[in-house]
Amino acid sequence: MDADHYVSESGVGLRLRKAREAAGLSLEDVAAQLHMPSRVVQSLEEEDWARLGAPVFVRGQLRSYSRLLGLVTSTTIAASGVAPIEPPALVPRSYTPRMHRLIEQGTRRMVYIVITAAIVVPVWLATKPHLNSTRDPATVQSLDAPAAGAPSLGQATSVQHPASEAPVVASMTPSLAPRPSAQPALILRFSGDSWIQVQAPDGRTLEKSLVPAGSTRSYVAGEVGRVTLGNASAVAVQQGDRAQDLTPFRRANVARFQVSSDGSLAPVRD
């Protein structure tokens, strides 16, 4: 086929072919030096851009061919009419109204509050035994202590109780009269709310509750066998007249220790 049939008289393809022939190079020579198939070199000279693919590849191949033949690459590419590479269009993010953002933030906070309340409230109710104090308290009196104004043996037994007098409930607990010789052997002072469990030497639970800040607990010698303190950093322990260091018995702000028969503190032996 005559070159005039497929190459424009003034196009970039004719310019490339003439420069190649002037350099004494064949299509195969150019293909070997540019490391591309001969049909690609021929398509460049025929300006068959559709056969070469995307414009970005066409411009790159024209640049390489022009550089090999000593032509001005920018002039060759401009004469080819191949569209330049355009950067992708930036699509702006959708605008969210300020009121919509505030509603979303408020909804997330409300969900967080509801979930927190669902977890905290049952725990708080379970550790508040004093909630039952809202009921009308009945007077608890030991059976071994005579009631105020009660007649002794041998006296008249005619006693009238006023209708408004609170009911008296008998208790099997012996009267805790002051013991002059019983001095506190263990004292707990609470500077913050703390959950405690105090057990007797035989394993009985003496107290198991949440103690509010500002409270004090004291026990006589031999009354306590084992103590567990939550929020131990807010509890000061005193044995006799000496302050005790809870560091050896504390782990993750929970202290566990035993009280020996002589009143000293020791690690818990499970």
pLDDT tens digits, 201-256: 898 998 989 899 999 998 887 888 899 998 889 899 988 788 888 888 888 889 99
pLDDT band at 25 (very low <50, low <70, confident <90, very high): confident
Q: At what angle do helices 55-69 and 73-80 cross, to 10 degrees?
A: 140
Q: Which helix (H) or strand (E) holds 267?
A: strand 265-267
Q: Which two tokens stand for residue 182?
A: 């019983």
Is the pLDDT higher at 178 or at 205? Answer: 205
Task: Give the SS3 label for residue 26.
Answer: coil
What DSSP state is assigned to residue 252? T
Span 140-149, pLDDT tens digits: 455 454 544 4
> In whole angstroms, what is the distance from residue 59 CA to residue 243 CA?
88
224 near 186, Cβ under 8 Å?
yes
pTM: 0.33
> In whole angstroms, what is the distance from residue 48 CA to residue 43 CA?
5
pLDDT at 115: 93
User: Domain 3-80 maps to which CATH number in 1.10.3720.10, 1.10.357.10, 1.10.260.40, 1.10.10.10?
Assistant: 1.10.260.40
Burial 99-121 (b: 16+ CB within 10 A, else e): eeeeeeeeeeeeeeeeeeeeeee
